Each structure stands twice: as C-alpha cells, then as structure tokens.
Amino acid sequence: MTACVRNPDWVKRYYPDVHTITADFTRDHDTETWLSRLHSIDAVVNCIGIIKEHSKQTFEYLHTKAPCALFKACDIAKVRKVIQISALGADDTASSEYHLSKKAADECLSQRALDWTILMPSIVYGHGAKSMAFFKALAALPLTPLVDTGNQPIQPVHIDDLCHAVIKALHTNQLSHKRIDVVGPAPVTMRALYTTLKTWLGMKHAIFISLPYGASLFAARVAGFMGNTPLTYETVQMLKKGNTGNVASYIEATGITPRPFEQTIMKTPPLPGDIHYAKHFFLIPLLRITLAVLWIVTGYISAFVYPIELSFSMLAKVGIGQTLAPLALYSAAALDVILGFTLLINYRVRLVALVQIILMVSYSILITIGLPDLWIHPFGPVTKNIPLIVATLLILSVTRK
C-alpha cells in the first residue's frame, strides 16, 4: 500500500511498513506530476477533503483542481480502479462551494474511461473525526446552541462502514460506475445528536438554546476568530438544509446494514482525553483571543493613555535615559500591539507565543533589577506575568503552526 500525503514523516512514525509519496494538493494541479507517482499503482482512493478554507487550502485547489489532474493521470496510466470519496449533497441540488467543488471533481472522474466509484458519505464519526469532534464540543457546553429548533436531519455514518464500502469497491465490480450514498441506517435530528453526545460525555442534563437562523449565521462569522473550527457561514447553511441519503443503495451494494449512531457511540465509553478535548475545544481559542486583546490594550495604554512622565521615570530606573526613552517606550508599545494583533488573527501563533514569553521574561528581569518594589505591589503588575507566561505556554503547546 502507498500513502500519498503532505507529511510522510507522520505516516512513517505510526505505520513504518507503508510506502509514502509526498504530495501537496494546494499546488499539484498538473497531470505530469501525478503521472510520475502512479508507477506500479493499480488502484487509487482519493479521500482529500476540507470543510473550511484556510490560506492556500481552498475548495477549488483541494477538491477540484488536484483531483481532476490526478484522475486524468490515472486514465493515462491505465490505473485499474479509482474511488472518489465525495460528499453527500454533492449533486444537482448542491449550492455551497464545498459541495460544488466536490461535485466538479465527481464529474471529472465520471467522464473518464476508468473503472470508477463515487462514494458520498454523510458526516463521518469514529476515532479522529473532526466534524464530530466539533459537535462533541458543542454538546459539552453548558448551553448547547441549536439552529432554529435543532430539528435538521442528518444521517451520520461510522468510519468503519465507509471503509467497508471502499474495500468492496476495490475488490469487486459491484460498485463500478456508481454513485452511492454512504449513510447511517436512519436520520437523527441535531437535537437528538447533541443529546446522545451529552450522555456519552457523562453530562446529566441537556440544556439547549435555540438561535434563529440569522443569529446562527452571525455566530458562524464570529467563529472565524476561534481558529480551526468547521463552523462557517456555509456550514450553517448546509446544516439548515439537512444531510440525509438513501441507505438502501449502500445496503444493496455492500450487503451490510450500517450501524446506528446512538447504539454505536454508546458502546465505546469516552477516554479522559475525549472529555478534556470536548470541554477545552472552545476555551483554548478563547484564551488566545483574550491574551491577544490584553497585548493590544497594553500597548495602546502604554503609548497613549498612561502619563508619559511616569513611563519615562520607570524607564530611567532600569537604565534607559531620556534620549532613548521615547524610542524604547513607543517601540515596545508598537511591538505589543503587533504581537497582539498577529495572535488575534491566528497567524504564526507558535512564533508569536514564543516571542511573547521571551518578552515577558525579559520585562520581569528588568523590573526585578530596576523596580523590585513592583513585585510586592497589591495589584500584582509583575506577579501577573507568571500565570500569563503559563497561559502562553499552553497556547504554544497545543498549536501546530
């Protein structure tokens, strides 16, 4: 088996026997690039997908351009089978950019002289499922928000059932040239989904708050500041529409009835890490935002609000004279604002957090040398640096970029 991934080192770490090829769907949009990777490959499964665009990771690049180039290369290389993991709703009723980009790739594949199968899964749950992790986090909130009344139907499917369909498509011809809905046995409403997840997380009471559709769209826009969450303006629109399909096609094609959501998830008790992740899902980005605001406000107050004479007096006590005092004051204030704004927009967070820690430690050392009395000030202007450093270390430890 060959895994074509952006980070082969991660695959090798956990699956040392798997052969890897480095690929980047944000830029691998030409057929020749893919042709060079298809030597001795007899079947291809394309399962690339994002629910939210970020930087160069766009629906057009990842869902359409790169897969279409791959499918053309498969046709030229005479690959035996190609399986496309599309999405439920990527059909003639599609309206979102997410579904339209998936549908475009499906059309590219279906027009090729290949033995192809297009699997169209609903929301997938199981270990590592990002969408379901987000729903678990919403369920873990004291008040779980619902779009309108929360009666939108979805038909979540377990990852093992999706994998079974992939295996069936690889080893038989029963699914050739078919588009198959890969869904659970019956729809569940979002309210019922959250109720099940709350029970799974050990929460005794499910308390909901209904948000009108317009308010939900506004909340989705605001959630963009929260970082890597799948909640966007489009996903709320998709959620309102619902996400259900024809389970009969899956049963007929595979001979297996997919497992029901509630019974399946309740068979596997949550690990402590699952509970912590769900409860801290929103707290970590909230911590990042509040720290960013603190740095911005601190910089602004230093430059424009706090009496300049007092600032110069403190700088003199740490060895910065009148000549350099204005430059030191306004440079430090500008740096605080820049770092805070960069943290707020979630850009290069690890680097920013590291610089902030270095600055807080440096400030604390300078204050200890020149203004030691501030350590025993009742408002704790210096001692507060200690929990701030720890909070920033937490941001640093849970952020990948």
228 pLDDT higher than 70: no
Token pair in block for residue 158 = 């377990």
Q: Is there a domain that residue 261 lies in?
A: no
How many domains does the chain fold into? 1
Separation between Cα atoms, residue 120 and residue 169, nearest integer Å: 13
Separation between Cα atoms, residue 107 and residue 102, nearest integer Å: 9
9 pLDDT higher than 90: yes
Q: Is there a domain that residue 181 lies in?
A: no
Closest by Cα among 212, 233, 220, 341 to 288 = 341
Q: Is there a domain that residue 198 lies in?
A: no
Q: Is there a domain that residue 77 lies in?
A: no
Write out pLDDT tens, residues 44-58. 999 999 988 888 899
Which residues are CB-neighbours of 285 under 8 A, at least 6 positions away? 225, 226, 227, 229
pLDDT at 122: 94
Domain hosting residue 375, numbered range: 285-398
Write out pLDDT tens, residues 144-192. 999 999 999 999 999 999 999 999 999 999 999 999 999 999 999 999 9
Contact yes or no for 299/337 (Cβ under 8 A): yes
Separation between Cα atoms, residue 358 and residue 354, nearest integer Å: 6
Contact yes or no for 106/179 (Cβ under 8 A): yes
Q: Is there a domain that residue 37 lies in?
A: no
C-alpha to C-alpha distances, 167 to 109, 116, 348, nearest whole angstrom? 19, 13, 40
pLDDT at 224: 62
Residue with tokens 């050990």: 202
Q: Is there a domain that residue 366 lies in?
A: yes
Q: What angle do CA 385, 386, 390 make, to 5 degrees?
A: 110
The whole-number average pLDDT for the span 275-286 is 91
Q: Is there a domain that residue 334 lies in?
A: yes
Percentage of residues in the chain having pLDDT higher than 90: 80
Q: Is there a domain that residue 241 lies in?
A: no
Task: Kindly report the pTM of this predicted structure.
Answer: 0.86
